């Protein structure tokens, strides 16, 4: 049974820092207002939809067309992708990007440390998830809001056999104009070009610039990426741990128009730089073991 907003507030609210509320559509979310930043996290998908450090415009992009309905993913912010990425191989009826972003997660704990605020969410295997993926697991997602935004996804195998999965923190970043932006940190890395028939290519030494539909899985890389957002006079950094792949995505014009939950003219204001283990880097976990993937998002002037 879902926990009421009042119960969540009584158990996990922190005065002047974290409050739980129903949004205008009735979905439950945590609203964080710390000395260093504001943020919002929905229980649907444990989905961070907003992060705004003091003195900065929002760091995360959120589509104005997002459904905000149970059973549908939220378009923007940081969707948690598990246990497969994209369409599920051999099952066209399975939800795109797995089921984690479609489930309501439990709040496990909240805490403050100095000016940082941490929330921990949990999702466990259920009859609903086993109908789609017949394995035991526990996901624990830790969100720390401070001068930076830190997120960590722990997967624990509670099954009697090994499990293999893909995972991603499918982060949408807000930009003044993607056509003026660039991404550094992936020079000389091999990638799968999903917008060009899954061809394998090599990124040159120059920064990535978006000039058309872009959907690339960069392989065997744990490097920090820097997104240059000149229109907002800032650099967004994405550092990560235990993630061996990075996805860079922008739908451009035609794909944006084809998505019901994405505005036709919103594509210039976003780019996805995703922390993930997908494709060649799917994770295999033995029974009783766990894997934790982390990302840390920071903002600097210039």
* H or E element, residue 5: helix 5-12
- The full DSSP string for 171-192 is PEEE-S-GGG-EEES-TT-EEE
- What would you measure as the largest C-alpha separation in the chain, in angstroms? 53
Annotated catalytic residue 266: no
Rounded to 5 degrees, what are φ and ψ at 171? -75, 130
Helix, strand, or coil (residue 64): coil
Backbone CA torsion sign across 234, 64, 170, 158: positive
Q: What are phi and psi of 102, to 5 degrees?
A: -105, -5
Kindly name the residue from 52, 148, 167, 274 that is annotated as catalytic.
Answer: 274
CA distance 185 to 221: 9
Tell me the helices (H) and strands (E) count for the chain, helix number first. 3, 22
- What is the Cα–Cα distance from 102 to 94, expressed in whole angstroms? 12
Marked catalytic residue, from 47, 50, 97, 170: 170
The long-range contacts involving 204-211, CB below 8 angstroms and separated by at least 24 positions, are 207/182, 207/183, 208/182, 208/183, 208/184, 208/248, 209/181, 209/182, 210/178, 210/179, 210/181, 210/250, 210/252, 210/271, 211/179
Among the listed residues 246, 6, 299, 290, the one whose alpha carbon sits nearest the alpha carbon of residue 142: 290
Catalytic residues: 170, 274
């Amino acid at each position: 049974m879902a926990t009421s907003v009042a119960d969540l507030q009584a158990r996990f609210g922190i005065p002047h820092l974290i409050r739980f509320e129903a949004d205008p559509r009735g979905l439950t979310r945590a609203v964080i207002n710390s000395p260093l930043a504001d943020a919002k996290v929905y229980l649907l998908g444990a989905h961070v939809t907003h992060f705004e450090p003091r003195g900065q415009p929002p760091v995360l992009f959120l589509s104005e067309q997002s459904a905000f309905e149970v059973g549908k993913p939220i378009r923007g912010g940081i969707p948690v992708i598990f246990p497969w990425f994209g369409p599920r191989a051999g099952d066209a009826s399975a939800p795109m990007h797995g089921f984690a972003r479609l489930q309501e997660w439990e709040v496990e704990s909240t805490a403050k440390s100095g000016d940082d605020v941490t929330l921990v969410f949990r999702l466990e295997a259920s009859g609903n998830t086993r109908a789609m993926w017949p394995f035991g697991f526990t996901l624990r997602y830790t969100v720390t809001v401070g001068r930076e935004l830190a997120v960590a996804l722990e997967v624990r195998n509670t099954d009697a056999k090994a499990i293999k999965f893909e995972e991603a923190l499918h982060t949408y970043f807000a930009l003044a104009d993607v056509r003026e932006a660039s991404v550094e940190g992936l020079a000389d890395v091999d990638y799968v070009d999903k917008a060009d028939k899954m061809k394998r290519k090599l990124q040159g030494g120059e920064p990535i610039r978006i000039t058309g539909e872009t959907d690339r899985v960069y392989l065997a890389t744990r490097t920090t990426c820097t997104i240059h957002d000149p229109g907002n006079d800032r650099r967004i950094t994405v550092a990560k741990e235990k993630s061996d792949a990075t996805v860079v995505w922008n739908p451009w014009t035609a794909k944006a128009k084809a998505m019901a939950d994405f505005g036709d003219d919103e594509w210039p204001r976003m780019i996805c730089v995703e922390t993930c283990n997908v494709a060649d880097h799917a994770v295999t976990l033995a029974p009783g073991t766990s894997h934790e993937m982390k990302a840390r998002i920071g903002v600097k002037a210039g």
